[in-house]
Structure 1
Amino acid sequence: MFAVIFKAKVGVQDAEYAKTVGLMRDLAFEKYNCQDFIALTEGKQEIAISYWQSEDDIKNWHSDSEHRVAQQFGREKWYESYTVEVVEIKRRYSFLE
């Protein structure tokens, strides 16, 4: 399993941003086998972690034409800066009640 960690300094996040985030999230799950997606914003910092079965799914998601348009808007107005890390999960365990 793999995870993509997206860390950003937010810019102007308007109604178009909120709509696009929802569409991109749906696309990731429906077309690219995303397993889970968690995003939090605190002040001007945002972090999103998504989980994937394969690195190929991540690469295909990254190069999707709709996602490319969203990435361009992100660079132009929604984010002041961001970093993306792709990591392989070597071990995972949980505590559930």
Structure 2
Amino acid sequence: MYAVIFKAEVNEFDQAYLETASRLRELALNEYGCTEFSSCTEGKREIAISYWPSKQAIQTWKNDPVHLQAQKQGKAKWYKSYQVQVVEIMHQYGA
């Protein structure tokens, strides 16, 4: 199991961002094998964590045409800066 951690400093969010984020979430969950997707924004910071069964699923998602267009918009308009981390989950537990 893998997680993708997306952290960003927000430049601006508009209606197009909100619609795109919702569409991308649905695509990830329904078309690309993402098993869980959560995000939150606090002030000018955003963090999103998605969970994936394989690195191949992550790569396929990264190359989705809608996702590629959103990445361009993010770089040009929505984010001042961002960072993506792909991590392998070694252990998981909870109550």
- What TM-score results when the alignment is normalised by the length of structure 2? 0.98
Structure 2 residue aligned with 1:9: 9
Aligned residues: 95
Q: CA deviation at 1:16?
A: 0.3
Alignment deviations for residues 48-84 of structure 1 (CA, whole Å, 9 cap, x no partner): 0000011100000001111000000000101000000
What is the aligned-residue identity percentage? 49
After TM superposition, the runs of 4+ consecutive aligned structure 1 residues lying more than 4 A away are none
Q: CA deviation at 1:47?
A: 0.5
RMSD: 0.5
Q: CA deviation at 1:30?
A: 1.1
1:85-96 superposed matches below 5 A: 85-95=85-95
Task: Report the 3-state secondary structure (helix = DSSP H, G, I; strand = E; otherwise coil) of the residue aligned with 1:34.
Answer: coil
Equivalent residue letter for 2:12: V
Task: Report the 3-state secondary structure (helix = DSSP H, G, I; strand = E; otherwise coil) of the residue aligned with 2:74.
Answer: helix
Q: CA deviation at 1:35?
A: 0.5
| Structure 2: gaps (5+ residues) | none
Q: CA deviation at 1:12?
A: 1.1
Structure 2 residue aligned with 1:67: 67
Equivalent residue letter for 1:18: L
1:42-81 superposed matches below 5 A: 42-81=42-81
Alignment deviations for residues 13-54 of structure 1 (CA, whole Å, 9 cap, x no partner): 000000000100010011110000110111111110000011
For 2:83 and 2:52, how far apart are their aligned partners in 1?
Answer: 18
Structure 2 residue aligned with 1:25: 25
Equivalent residue letter for 1:68: L
For 1:2 and 1:57, how far apart are their aligned partners in 2?
Answer: 10
